[in-house]
């Protein structure tokens, strides 16, 4: 569910979509990653992604309503286009911003710290991720607030169908 402009790639997730992800413990281990299905149920989400930036901003509504639960900053590697869509790597640390954008806090600091402790992130990379989070908060709540606010009441076209991921997605070379 998305509509693209030259500088913003919006993508939506309505309650009960399934995605595929490794478990958090596997992300910080040196073992082979096991990808599991994960069903998103708590909120409806519109992901606002600016290509080449190290974060995306989610508007999270209480499922089936237009009541904003929060704004969520997902710290990630810049998104890139692949043969089957888009790809990024999550950087574990996130930011949650209140619905009125007056307060914010870090999320998943414990996982992020554990990832650093086991060598998943170098001290330099960890500092880069923290800095990206602080910059993202400034952009979302101040500099670009009007841009994000215009999406507050967005709704998908009811005729759109939720796309299905190919059962062969794991076998597809992305580049």
Q: Residue for token digits 């286009």? A: 81
Chain centroid to CA 134: 16
For the residues 55-84, what does the mean pLDDT come to? 92
| Predicted pLDDT of residue 5 | 47
The tens digit of pLDDT for each residue in 92-134 reads 999 999 999 999 999 999 989 988 988 889 999 999 999 999 9
Asked if the model's pLDDT at residue 37 lies above 60, the reply is yes
The tens digit of pLDDT for each residue in 49-63 reads 988 899 999 999 998
Token pair recorded at residue 63: 């499922």
Contacts of 137 (CB under 8 A, 6+ apart): 73, 95, 97, 104
| Predicted pLDDT of residue 2 | 41
* Contact assessment for residue 40 and residue 15, using Cβ atoms and an 8 Å cutoff: yes
Instruction: Answer whether 0.75 is exceeded by the pTM.
Output: yes
Domains and CATH numbers, the chain: 9-152 (2.40.380.10)
């Amino acid at each position: 569910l998305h509509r693209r402009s030259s500088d913003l790639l919006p993508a939506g997730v309505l309650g009960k979509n399934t995605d595929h992800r490794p478990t958090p413990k596997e992300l910080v281990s040196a073992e082979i990653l096991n990808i599991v299905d994960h069903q998103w149920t708590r909120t409806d989400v519109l992901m606002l992604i600016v290509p080449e930036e190290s974060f995306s901003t989610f508007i999270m509504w209480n499922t089936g309503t237009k009541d904003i639960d929060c704004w969520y900053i997902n710290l990630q590697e810049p998104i890139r286009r692949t043969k089957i869509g888009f790809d990024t790597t999550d950087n574990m640390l996130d930011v949650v911003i209140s619905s009125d954008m007056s307060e914010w806090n870090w999320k998943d600091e414990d996982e992020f710290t554990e990832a650093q402790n086991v060598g998943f992130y170098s001290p330099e990379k960890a500092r880069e991720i923290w800095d990206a989070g602080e910059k993202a908060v400034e952009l979302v709540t101040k500099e670009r607030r009007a841009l994000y606010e215009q999406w507050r009441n967005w709704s998908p076209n009811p005729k759109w169908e939720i796309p299905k991921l190919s059962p062969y997605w794991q076998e597809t070379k992305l580049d």
